[in-house]
Amino acid sequence: MHTTEGIVDCALYAGGVRAPEQDDVVALYERARRTPGAFVWIGLHEPGAALLAEVAAAFGLHPLAVEDVLHQEPLPKLERYGDTAFLVLRAAAYVEHAELTETSEIVDTGSVRMFVGAHFVITVRHGHAGALRQVRDELEATPEQLAQGPWAVAHAVCDLIVDEYVRIAAAMRTDVDTVEHGVFSRDRALRIEHIYQLKRELLEFRSAVLPLRQPLTVLQQPQPVELPTEIRRYFRDVSDHHSRVVDQIVKYDDLLNSLLQARLAQVTMEQNNDMRKIASWAAIAAMQTAIAGIYGMNFTFMPELLWRYGYPGVLTVMLVSSVFLYRRLRRVGWL
């Protein structure tokens, strides 16, 4: 191939063992087609259009599938183009954070596309999430599994991504518990923006996980994709793990909705309490204003104007009335 930038690894596997020779991709594929039970695994990371065009020409990939590879955010799906299956997955990774804020990034997402044929598997990764070096190392350490062909690689990739879903769901449980504690704690320092940000991150995680249900269901059926019986059983196990993650996401979403409504109700109550306090102090001030206003009208004939103790007497009445009203409002919970 003329372009190699974007190729992470490329190898020929025969009988589950990696061939030691390094050769051109096209030459490796030709050898795989001539060798029973052999296949080529090419790993690409954010390849350019030129490299994809060369790979598509060498392996006979359908133009529509290649176009989907160039698209940055396709939904998880499984499609069949002749003898080649095209599988799209959304990878995800949990982002560690010291505390939850209104701008915290909790879930980082990427994508993995796979072309699976009789003698090849091509993995194309976009983003930082979903690195596949671990998958290749583990499969090369278990030749008996790798000997089952390209679909063994596809299963291992799916298994890695779904296992990461499980870890993310467990980690997000801690975030949800933190939000729940913040909503019902005495200081109530948690803001509505924090809950909304966690809900947005959960929504991003959900958009990566939920659409994978349909491809995994198809892979458990005899048609339209032909898989080795053992690999089909493995996909059934992956589907079980995926279903548990989906259930957890739905529960988290329902709980966050309830917490958001509870926090909104708390804010409304706090505003009502503030309004009652303002109204109470306004009532106390209004009583003093009324008394002062009456004696400030400068009429000639008014009670107590000529009384020696009229001024201190009026001040005493104002003070006593304020104390009485204050204690009364405190007793009914307005202050």
Cα–Cα distance measured from residue 178 to residue 106, given in angstroms and rounded to the nearest whole number? 14
**What is the mean pLDDT of the segment spanning 10-20?**
87
Tell me, what's the pLDDT at 244? Answer: 94
Average pLDDT over residues 279-284: 77
The better pLDDT of the pair 81, 183 is held by 81
314 falls in which pLDDT band (50, 70, 90)? confident
Task: Calculate mean pLDDT across residues 44-68.
Answer: 87
The span from the CA of 68 to the CA of 57, in Å, is 16
**With bands split at pLDDT 50, 70 and 90, how would you rate the model's confidence at 154?**
very high
Could you give the residue ranges of the DSSP H alpha helices within the chain? Answer: 25-34, 49-59, 63-70, 133-141, 143-146, 150-184, 192-209, 213-219, 229-295, 310-331
Q: For position 250, what pLDDT does the model report? A: 92
Output the CA–CA distances (angstroms, integers) from residue 326 to 12, 166, 285, 321, 335, in the order listed: 87, 57, 11, 8, 8
The pLDDT tens digits of the residues spanning 29-48 come to 888 888 888 899 999 988 88
Please give the Cα distance from 144 to 251 (Å, whole number): 39
1 pLDDT higher than 60: no
Point out which residues pair with 123 in neighbouring strands. Answer: 43, 114
Residue 41 to residue 52: CA distance in whole angstroms: 15
What residue has token string 């596809």? Answer: 154
CB 46 within 8 A of CB 71: no
Are 209 and 246 in contact, with CB atoms under 8 Å apart?
Answer: yes
| Domains parsed from the chain with CATH numbers | 7-266 (3.30.460.20), 267-331 (1.20.58.340)
pLDDT for 3 equals 57
The reported pTM is 0.78
- Categorize the per-residue pLDDT at 332 as very low, low, confident or very high, splitting at 50, 70 and 90: confident
Who wins on pLDDT, 325 or 31? 31
The torsion angles phi and psi of 224, rounded to 5 degrees, stand at -90, 0
pLDDT score of 304: 65
Percent of the chain with pLDDT over 90: 18
Residue whose tokens read 């590879």: 69
Residue 12 CA to residue 19 CA, distance in Å, equals: 5
pLDDT-wise least confident of 159-168, 186-195, 237-246: 186-195
Provide the pLDDT confidence category of residue 301 given band limits of 50, 70 and 90: low
Torsional sign, CA 326, 327, 330, 334:
negative
Residue 40: its H or E element? strand 38-45
